[in-house]
Structure 1
Amino acid sequence: MRKLPLAIALAALLLGTASAADKKDKSAPDDQKPEAALLKPQASTSESSVSVEGKRISYKAVAGTIVLHGKGDKENEPTASLFYVAYFKKGADAAKRPITFIYNGGPGSATVWLHMGAFGPRRVVTSDDSHTPAAPYQLVNNDYSLLDASDLVFIDAPGAGFSRLIANDPDASKREGQMGDRRKELYSVDGDGHAFAQFITQFLSRYGRWNSPKYLFGESYGTTRSAVVANDLENEDSVDLNGVILLSQILNFDTSVDGADQNPGIDLPYELALPTYAATAYYHHKLPQQPGDLEPFLQEVEQFALGEYAQALMQGSRLDDARKQAVAEKLHQYTGLSVSYLMKANLRVTGGMFEHELQSDTDDTTGRLDTRFSGPSLDPLSKEAEYDPQSSAISSAYIAAFNDYVRKDLKFGQDLNYREFADVKEWIFKHNDHDGAVNVMPDLAMAMKTNPNLKVFLNGGYYDLATPFFAADYEMHHIPVQPQLMNNVSYAWYPSGHMVYAHEASLKLLHDNVAHFIEQTDNVKH
């Protein structure tokens, strides 16, 4: 699973080391036989209530679809039916009530994770840092649903969840060719971003929410998407956003430590991942000298990463043996990896190598999405981790809980297959026709410049090795905007992993931070 082409390896940003391409959906042919239901919007409405930190909130839920269309001379041609679940607080003034559009990443992932783990009114209970036992799973009132601060719209990406691509050519012999065109159009950085922007503008019209305070909330590849969508909304659709909330960010794929050894000469990923290696070794008590507190320790590691370590790596083969030995010994103090291993690795350890090696003394593999997790190594002699114990630990609980909840509570999807991932093995990692690693930092910069009141809130976990927190911090501090616009950016870090909300104490803090951010930026007098 780990031995994938670099572009596919980088695509596996949401769940585990296996990409969406490895999770082939045997039900894919139903895209090629669209029923009339795909060509028109669907909606199922229900009502309920949730208690958020002691406050009871009554809401209306709508589970439904919005049909997207092509652009230009194809604007009347349906391209995809996107599934969503929207929660509206009953009795609220829509003109003053914020609305937040929420999505996971992948690319090509359903938004089951943020829905059932973070901000929906019901939350699935999973074990904190170990494998959750098999069904029955516990679905509980979500004390930290974001419904106290905003109406919520959870959106499944094209081809994922109950979202479907549409090939509506009446000639069956031409339908597969049309479906191939749909995949090329929507399974790409730009096509995906345009699709979500179109969904949002259609949703605003359908539910009369054009004058509501508006927010984007994306996780993982969803942060990449958010930069594109924010720019599209601001500068193609004249939609000024109040805020963009980023969780487990990756905007520049050159910062990813996954497969970094396939891109020799670019050492930045190793430097930016080092604080996460240190946090992980701290958590598993693998450091030669265990620090008393995590955050002061990480500050020390960050200084070393951008100073002495970066200078050593920059020298390449010019680095003399004595200096290389000294840096290896310092890395040993910060990562728990042996000096001999670090020397053999030429001071450069990829994410997969670290995950495999840190607990190799017990033949355990360390988690990727959340390095607090561990699991038995599939091959103790492998160079890199071959799966993600964190993904294996909780995925079944989320998928089972949502499949049960959407049918019983939301009354949708009775005869449909809910897809964890779209089949995006041919995802086009090209942005604005530029070759090379995807970098959407200019998109976020453009949105911030053309809407100088736009606020951005970056969140991340110390134990996230899929999108390391220090890499996200580095990216944000290199956004090409004027210094005064950087005052619009705020940050929060948590003692959790990629899915910050999988740690309940961090979920509470994430909720409180995001609710406060919305309250401070919704332009409504409270």
Structure 2
Amino acid sequence: MRGLLLALCLAVFVVPAFADEAKADAQDKPEIPEAQSFSTDHTLKLGGETIRYTAVAGETYLRDAKDEPTASIFSVSYVRDGVSDPRNRPVTFVFNGGPGSASLWLHMGAFGPKQVVTPSDATDVGSPPYNVRDNQNSLLDVTDLVFIDPVGTGYSRPLGENDGKAFYGVNEDAESIAEFIRLWITENGRWNSPKYLAGESYGTTRAAALTEKLQGGWNGIGLNGVILISAILDFQTGEFGPGNDTAHIAYFPSEAAIAWYQGKVDKTKWNGDFNAFVQDARTYAIDTLAPALIRGSTLGAVREAEIASEMSAYLGVSAEWIKQAKLRVDPTRFRKELLRREGYTVGRFDGRYKGVDSEGTADSPENDPSGYGMDVAYVAALNDYLTRDLKVDFTRAYKVLTGEPGSQWNWSMNDSGWPEYVNVTPWLGKGMRENKDLRVMLASGWYDLATPFFGAEMALHKNGVVLDRVQFDYYDAGHMMYLAEQDGRKLSNDVRAFIRAGQ
């Protein structure tokens, strides 16, 4: 009896203690607010047709196996009104890159219903106010649009006790966006609609990874098309690590194109034909530069001098400078060297842009004139549009490109432990081979030193990609080709034709 009483007494004291601890734990957990959504109705006159559509700017919560929210993904959806059969209405999921960039660039520059106006001649946008107009390049006539901000960008964020690392990585990012897409098509009744992915920059890496995350396995979501804008698929073509000559081969034609644009090439040698010049630069990179770089120090001084002179004719910088670089023209140094004597640097995202540094002896530019020359207009336009037109009532900052996700990015694609370059192109090739209707569009700017066109071509020309279902389009601008009005129009027309061809 005394033992029973002791046990009962212990229960009296212990149970409340556990209850207090549970209560304290519950109080320590961050409070998760309800997801918010803002819906507005609009019209857009596009191509002589008045399109009525509903815009929904809101949060979608990702959840774990216990149904606890882990992250909020903010998106802006544009869905055309009056569509009787969603099977005949495509939906396109759109995102930018970084990693760590929000989707404002494609949203406000290329495909959304509103567009911020930037100078087509590669001069900077100056100070506000900036002109925002109805976008005649919007794709709402052929597809509904969903602009996605991955976790850590825009208004999207981890929730509860989760940090961003669970979503920052090649696989982690693709899995979270795939789950968002599954939720969106479920909530909107669009499982049987044609589906497209449109990504820019690292967004093309994400799009290729998504072909595997969405279509792979028995719970797959079929895709109709993947739109790659300024693509980076195989990172060996873009990483300038010691001993990696692939990147130098990939960048050579883009450096040559910029030299042509900036007037540093004798155009009479090619009868003023830019396309012939670029094709020659491609051929030279493969047939002459690549073997020379492979030879390394066995090339010989005489042959090295000959190649340096030949490269100078393409790149517009001195043969001696190229020779001193051991025929490996780093794009960052090239941006400083090309117009050094004129007192300018050239842009990374767009080699048409010129900047002025505080002094001229450095080996790299202070900043990217094609970045600071336009970004403030996009940031102002997007924030103004969200709050005034779409009635989004958030006071927290819209994160454009903070660097937080990218600095913590998990670049590993598997658990092998071996060092490797990220290459998502095999996933894209697999997706095409396993889906006979899946098509790919590559849109590249000639003057892009962030994701060069030849690097994307090199990746797509192998890795099991079905080339007869790849559409190649090129633009007389850089990374964000839609900064130039005529090229933004061409991009829109090319994408529109790509989507219509799949109907």
1:457 maps to which of 441, 445, 469: 441
Q: Which moved more, 1:283-292 or 1:148-157?
A: 283-292
Which residue in the other structure is 1:229 paired with?
Answer: 210
| Superposed counterparts of 1:52-201, under 5 Å | 52-70=46-64, 74-93=65-84, 94-128=86-120, 129-166=122-159, 168=160, 178-179=161-162, 182-201=163-182
Which residue in the other structure is 1:263 paired with?
Answer: 242
Query: In the aligned structure 1, how far is the partner of 2:399 from the partner of 2:287?
Result: 45
| Superposed counterparts of 1:125-524, under 5 Å | 125-128=117-120, 129-166=122-159, 168=160, 178-179=161-162, 182-236=163-217, 237-256=219-238, 260=240, 262-264=241-243, 266-289=244-267, 291=270, 292-422=272-402, 423-424=404-405, 425-434=407-416, 435-481=419-465, 485-522=466-503
The Cα shift of 1:397 comes to 0.2
Quick check: which has more Rg, 1 or 2?
A: 2
For the structure 1 residues 34 and 87, does the alpha-carbon distance in structure 2 shift closer, same or farther, using more than 3 Å as the test? farther
The Cα shift of 1:51 comes to 2.5
Contact 2:115 2:132 in 1 (8 A): yes
1:147 counterpart SS class = coil
The Cα shift of 1:55 comes to 2.9
Query: In the aligned structure 2, how far is the partner of 1:406 from the partner of 1:75?
Result: 33
Query: In the aligned structure 2, how far is the partner of 1:34 from the partner of 1:363?
Result: 54
Contact 1:188 1:429 in 2 (8 A): yes
Q: Which moved more, 1:188-197 or 1:357-366?
A: 357-366
Cα deviation digits, residues 65-95 of structure 1 (max 9, x gap): 100123xxx3523211000000011112322
Q: Would you identify which runs of 4 or more consecutive aligned residues in structure 1 move more than 6 Å? A: none
The Cα shift of 1:278 comes to 1.0
2:231 counterpart SS class = coil
Cα deviation digits, residues 167-206 of structure 1 (max 9, x gap): x2xxxxxxxxx44xx3221011110000000000000011
1:116 counterpart SS class = helix
The Cα shift of 1:33 comes to 9.0
Cα deviation digits, residues 362-403 of structure 1 (max 9, x gap): 231110011100111255222223321100000000000000
The Cα shift of 1:274 comes to 1.1
TM-score, normalisation: structure 1: 0.86
Contact 1:51 1:142 in 2 (8 A): no
Contact 1:230 1:444 in 2 (8 A): yes
1:60 counterpart SS class = strand
Matched to 1:328, the amino acid is A
Query: In the aligned structure 1, how far is the partner of 2:252 from the partner of 2:390?
Result: 44
Matched to 1:108, the amino acid is G
Query: In the aligned structure 2, how far is the partner of 1:186 from the partner of 1:243?
Result: 25
Query: In the aligned structure 2, how far is the partner of 1:379 from the partner of 1:447?
Result: 50
1:49 counterpart SS class = strand
Query: In the aligned structure 1, how far is the partner of 2:267 from the partner of 2:207?
Result: 41
For the structure 1 residues 280 and 214, does the alpha-carbon distance in structure 2 shift closer, same or farther, using more than 3 Å as the test? same
For the structure 1 residues 284 and 338, does the alpha-carbon distance in structure 2 shift closer, same or farther, using more than 3 Å as the test? same
Query: In the aligned structure 1, how far is the partner of 2:152 from the partner of 2:279?
Result: 42
The Cα shift of 1:35 comes to 5.1
The Cα shift of 1:270 comes to 1.1
Contact 1:250 1:472 in 2 (8 A): yes
The Cα shift of 1:159 comes to 1.2
Contact 1:162 1:413 in 2 (8 A): no
Query: In the aligned structure 2, how far is the partner of 1:298 from the partner of 1:413?
Result: 49
1:501 counterpart SS class = helix
Query: In the aligned structure 1, how far is the partner of 2:358 from the partner of 2:203?
Result: 30
Query: In the aligned structure 2, how far is the partner of 1:60 from the partner of 1:355?
Result: 44
Matched to 2:103, the amino acid is T
Cα deviation digits, residues 424-478 of structure 1 (max 9, x gap): 2211111123532211112112212222221111111101110000111111111
2:374 counterpart SS class = helix
Matched to 1:156, the amino acid is D
1:412 counterpart SS class = coil
Contact 2:260 2:267 in 1 (8 A): no
Matched to 2:290, the amino acid is A
Which residue in the other structure is 2:25 paired with?
Answer: none
Tell me the matched-pair count: 467
1:196 counterpart SS class = helix
Query: In the aligned structure 2, how far is the partner of 1:442 from the partner of 1:294?
Result: 32
Q: Which runs of 5+ in 2 are unaligned?
A: 1-27
For the structure 1 residues 75 and 302, does the alpha-carbon distance in structure 2 shift closer, same or farther, using more than 3 Å as the test? farther
Matched to 1:507, the amino acid is G
